[in-house]
Chain A
Amino acid sequence: MTVAGGPALGFDDVSLTLGQTDILLRVSLRVAAGGVHALVGPNGGGKSSLFKALLGQVPHRGRIALEWPGERPGVVGYVPQALAFDAGLPMTVMDFMGAMCQRRPVMLGLSRRWKAPVEQALHQVGMWEKAQRRMGALSGGERQRVLLAQALIPAPDLILLDEPMSALDEAGMRVFEALLAHWRGQRTTVLWIEHDLDAVTRLADRVTGLNRQVLFDGAPAEVLTPQRVLALFSNRHRHEEAQAVEEASA
């Protein structure tokens, strides 16, 4: 299943407007098959919206192509930033994994078929010892590890990570790096929204700076220059840039 590896992604002139606001403006971008591609940019810069457009959950203009290597589409995994649930809910880590993976209702327990994969996934993120803990009683980092674990079942060909490191501690970071290495080995395509530019420089093959439009795109060591990063994240720069665009078009 994973021999073929993940798909390449092509975003071609993708725009997204919600109400009066332009969320994405003519975004064109290629994500190589089997690589680790990071998306960086300020909050509200349209990174999560790009995921939504990719998953077909918002009406966008332009073309998004998933070029699967095989004849049939493979498995897409997704790691969201957070889950919305009542912290007091008596749902153990195991319950959650069961609800994610199997059809059989969780009150009947984990089916035999999924026991081994769930156990392995929880081992992989270092949460096996806490499998019987309540989800609500976990720390933010631990919950994020569980979210990573669910994305391992079934083994994905394309994985979308929405700021998976934001709550991870030191040990969690190592777990995440090991997972990235694992996905790289499986030739899984990884599209990864991240704020930690140091991590992006170390771990990504390619990085795109996104603030409504693509500001830069290339190998992290080359494109993540202080100048560009400053331009991407600072308000003043953005303001000046917008003015420049306006003046140019006037």
Chain B
Amino acid sequence: MTDLIDTLRHAIQHLAEQGLLPNSLTYGFVVNAVLAGLCIGPVLGGLGTLVVVKRLAFFSEAVGHAALTGVAIGILLGEPYTGPYGSLFAYCTLFGLLLMYLRNRTGLSPDTLIGVFLAVSLSLGASLLLILSGRVNIHILENVLFGSVLTVDTSDLLVLLVVSAVVVALTVPLYNRFMLASFNPQLASVRGVRVKLLDYLFVVLVTIVTVASVKVIGAILVGALLIIPAAAARLLSLSLRGFFWLSVLIATLSTQVGILVPIELELPVPSGAAIILTAGALFGLAAIVRGFTPALKGHAG
């Protein structure tokens, strides 16, 4: 698998050297970032449509923020600070599952529970980071918070590829059922959907894809790429088909523009911020287009 990624990277670098691709792709780390973006874009864009339908936007933001604490725990436990994936996956999955479990058990509304979890998790993260500040260069955390294309290596790409494959393999066949479960749980279960199980599964899927994207987009902003493209697509589409594919397109475009433009123009902007700014600009554009297109405002009512 690693060999495959290396071969692919060399092929792209070779094409760039011959002038067939942008010059910046002659650098290995740029190719890595572009490949990561090509993974993250479609997966987050597609999954984002379900996040919006299921109204879990705030949840996906919270999971992203939990990643910060996950990184701190990882470094504390002695994992490499460039990729503490063990602690990241473990902590964030625990965060998501516990939140879901308490939602089912306590009947508290999700936004209240997320508020509690987010605050506690961030406090824990902040405390741990202070302890760590003596041990590692705290500037590394900027990369964790806002993402950095410079640090994406082959093993990061591998994690991303595997996670993307798992998420796609589970989400595509279960897409209708995920949606149905949120429309009317009782109707869904009459139709053979295991509502609770799918709720937990969805939380896990959002969590792992979020964690795998942290290196490129950063903990603070990763949740936003699940939401902004889907929100923009919702403004411009008239059917679920349009909604889904437009969201995928916008997310992919945003990641590519956000990764390549700062490098090409030598702007000192973190990749995560550039990606989200691009997505935000596309969202603004979508809002304007909708404003000027009566057909998009839907049929009266």
A interface, CB within 8 angstroms of B = 51-52, 55, 57, 76-78, 80, 82-86, 88-92, 94-95, 98-100, 102-109, 132-134, 136-139, 160
Contact = CB atoms under 8 A, between A and B. Distances in A.
Contacts of B243: 89-91, 107
Given A95-B240, A106-B176, A134 B190 contact: no
B186 A57 contact: yes
Contacts of A132: 239
Interface of B: 53, 55, 172-173, 175-176, 179-180, 182-184, 186-187, 189-191, 234, 237-245, 298-301
Nearest to B180: A99
A90 B190 contact: no
A160 to B, nearest CB: 8
Contacts of A88: 234, 298
A107 B241 contact: yes
A134 B299 contact: yes
24 contacts: A57-B189, A76-B190, A77-B190, A80-B187, A88-B298, A90-B237, A90-B239, A90-B242, A92-B239, A92-B240, A94-B239, A104-B176, A105-B173, A105-B175, A105-B176, A106-B179, A106-B241, A107-B241, A107-B243, A107-B244, A107-B245, A109-B241, A134-B298, A137-B299
Contacts of B238: 90, 92, 134
Contacts of A85: 53, 182-183
Contacts of A92: 238-240
Contact of B179 (A52, A99, A138): A99
A85 to B, nearest CB: 5
9 A-B pairs with the lowest CB-CB distances in the bound complex, closest first = A107-B244, A105-B175, A78-B190, A95-B240, A99-B176, A90-B237, A137-B301, A137-B299, A83-B183
Contacts of A108: 241
Contacts of A104: 176
B181 to A, nearest CB: 11
A98 B298 contact: no
Contacts of B182: 84-85
Contact of B173 (A76, A86, A103): A103
B175 A107 contact: yes
A130 to B, nearest CB: 9
Nearest to B173: A103
A137 B299 CA distance: 6
Contact of A102 (B172, B176, B245, B299): B176
A106 B240 contact: yes
Q: Which of B180, B238, B239, B244 has the most CB of A within 10 A?
A: B239
Q: Which of B237, B298, B300 has the most CB of A within 10 A?
A: B298
A122 to B, nearest CB: 16
B299 A80 contact: no
A137 B298 CA distance: 7
Given A90-B237, A95-B239, A107-B175, A55 B189 contact: yes
Nearest to A147: B187
B73 to A, nearest CB: 36
Given A84-B183, A90-B234, A107-B175, A136 B298 contact: yes
Contacts of A137: 298-301
B300 A95 contact: no
A132 B241 CA distance: 12
